[in-house]
Structure 1
Amino acid sequence: MIPPLDERGLLPAGIHTASLEAVAHAFCSGQYRELLWQDLIRFLRDHFIAANLHPPLYLAGSFFSDKPNPGDIELTVDLGGRSQEQMLAALALFLERQRWHNEYRVDYYPNMPGNSDFVAFFQYVGPKTAQTKGLNEKDRRGIIKVESWTLG
């Protein structure tokens, strides 16, 4: 279940599990956000469904806040327990991260076993939001985990 935004206008700290449909219902208020969401769905179809890769997704960033026009949606995928081939496919996507950001407005980072933990990283408010909202950049915010997903 996705909780309402807190008094800071952010998703409360923690990892909140939800379906893609529930996320869209909760955060696609208005045409701009709907188009941003559709870009994420296109990215997933074009690069994850096409590669038959369905890892748990973690969605984060200002899309999950009261910011009216977030610039992108942050995405990391958990590649633990995936085959070497699947990990290489996900890593290859990362190598063109800037292209995907420009084309789909998705800020993509794979969570590779034994490397940087982007699931933890995305739970920090970060410098831009901290400055805008008068918070400490190490304050915590919530992210969304989508464990099982398919796209029609």
Structure 2
Amino acid sequence: MIPSLNNRGKLPIGIHNCSGEDVIYRYCNTEIRKRFQKPITDLLNFAFKTNAEYLFIGGSFITNELDPNDIDCLIVYNENKQIPNNKEEVLIGGMHIDLMFASLENRSIIDAYLHLFSHNRFSEEVGVLQIDLLKENKIWKLKPPGKEKYEVIKSAYIDRHILNVRECKGVLVTIHGLLSSGQWNKEIAPIASSEGWIIAPYIYVGNTPSLLINKRRRSKIVNEFREWICDLGKRYKIQKLFQ
């Protein structure tokens, strides 16, 4: 259950346990804020899929701001080895999301992040949401982080790069021709990726004119391409592949 906001438009001090449905109902209930529904849903699905233990949300999203500009999130796993290695592979539709990871093996880091989340840019203490992923209703007991650890986390957070995770439009597959290695991909890739496409150049060897008369070799390339593009679709869970 999410408590009412105080007279400053912030959550009361402390960590407040709630469900994902509570978050959507409370914070995605206006015409402007409807755009947050998919990012929150995708975020919850990602946390479940990767077996996260905790999910914390802070920032302007959980205030009374009419059009908040970001969502601050901390996903906590049981072990360090569960933490995703590459943020760019986390596809969460339609929003700028500051996504941080930690594990229960380093509780002081979790405390440092939560201490950061619980203080706004004016050093005012505010509330933080904890999504009840495991339905166990265990609220995180926040301990004051060590000064050195907190300063490291704070510095990393301030200097962070905001991850622009937009909904992927699809996969753009490019195939070079004979006597070519697809050097033109370097011109296409920045343009297409900036528009939300995954770029997937297919490079094959033996691209000489003799390929036209070598039926066996042509068949091998076609079969390899078929396997590659099917694997591509499964990997990115995209129904349509654009060529």
Is the counterpart of residue 144 in structure 1 residue 144 in structure 2? no
The percent of aligned pairs where both chains have the same amino acid is 22
- CA 1:140 to 1:32, structure 2 compared with 1: closer, same or farther past 3 Å? same
Ranges in structure 1 where 5+ consecutive residues have no aligned partner: 127-136
Conservation of the 8 A alpha-carbon contact between 1:100 and 1:106: no
Pick the aligned partner of 1:110 from 92, 101, 108.
101
Is the counterpart of residue 121 in structure 1 residue 120 in structure 2? no
Instruction: Report which structure shows greater RCO (CA 8 Å, sep ≥6).
Output: 1
Report the counterpart of residue 23 of structure 2 in structure 1: 23
Secondary structure, in 3 states, of the residue corresponding to 1:138?
coil
Is the counterpart of residue 62 in structure 1 residue 57 in structure 2? no
Secondary structure, in 3 states, of the residue corresponding to 1:105?
strand
1:55 is aligned with what amino acid? E
TM-score in terms of structure 2 length: 0.47
- CA 1:118 to 1:93, structure 2 compared with 1: closer, same or farther past 3 Å? farther
Conservation of the 8 A alpha-carbon contact between 1:19 and 1:146: yes
Secondary structure, in 3 states, of the residue corresponding to 1:17?
strand
Mapped to 1, the partners of 2:17 and 2:61 lie a distance apart of 16
- CA 1:44 to 1:104, structure 2 compared with 1: closer, same or farther past 3 Å? farther
- CA 1:8 to 1:84, structure 2 compared with 1: closer, same or farther past 3 Å? closer
Larger Rg: 1 or 2? 2
* Number of equivalent positions: 131
- CA 1:4 to 1:37, structure 2 compared with 1: closer, same or farther past 3 Å? same
Report the counterpart of residue 225 of structure 2 in structure 1: none
Conservation of the 8 A alpha-carbon contact between 2:48 and 2:133: no
Mapped to 1, the partners of 2:91 and 2:13 lie a distance apart of 27
Secondary structure, in 3 states, of the residue corresponding to 1:111?
strand
1:74 is aligned with what amino acid? D
The alpha-carbon deviation at position 41 of structure 1 amounts to 1.8
Mapped to 1, the partners of 2:53 and 2:99 lie a distance apart of 13
Mapped to 2, the partners of 1:103 and 1:38 lie a distance apart of 7
Deviations 1:20-78 (A, max 9, x none): 11121122121331211311322443x4344x322210011111111100012110022
Conservation of the 8 A alpha-carbon contact between 1:27 and 1:63: yes
TM-score in terms of structure 1 length: 0.72
Conservation of the 8 A alpha-carbon contact between 2:55 and 2:74: yes
Conservation of the 8 A alpha-carbon contact between 2:57 and 2:129: yes
The alignment's C-alpha RMSD in Å is: 2.6
Ranges in structure 2 where 5+ consecutive residues have no aligned partner: 136-243
The alpha-carbon deviation at position 148 of structure 1 amounts to 1.9
Mapped to 2, the partners of 1:149 and 1:18 lie a distance apart of 11
- CA 1:102 to 1:20, structure 2 compared with 1: closer, same or farther past 3 Å? closer
Report the counterpart of residue 34 of structure 1 in structure 2: 34
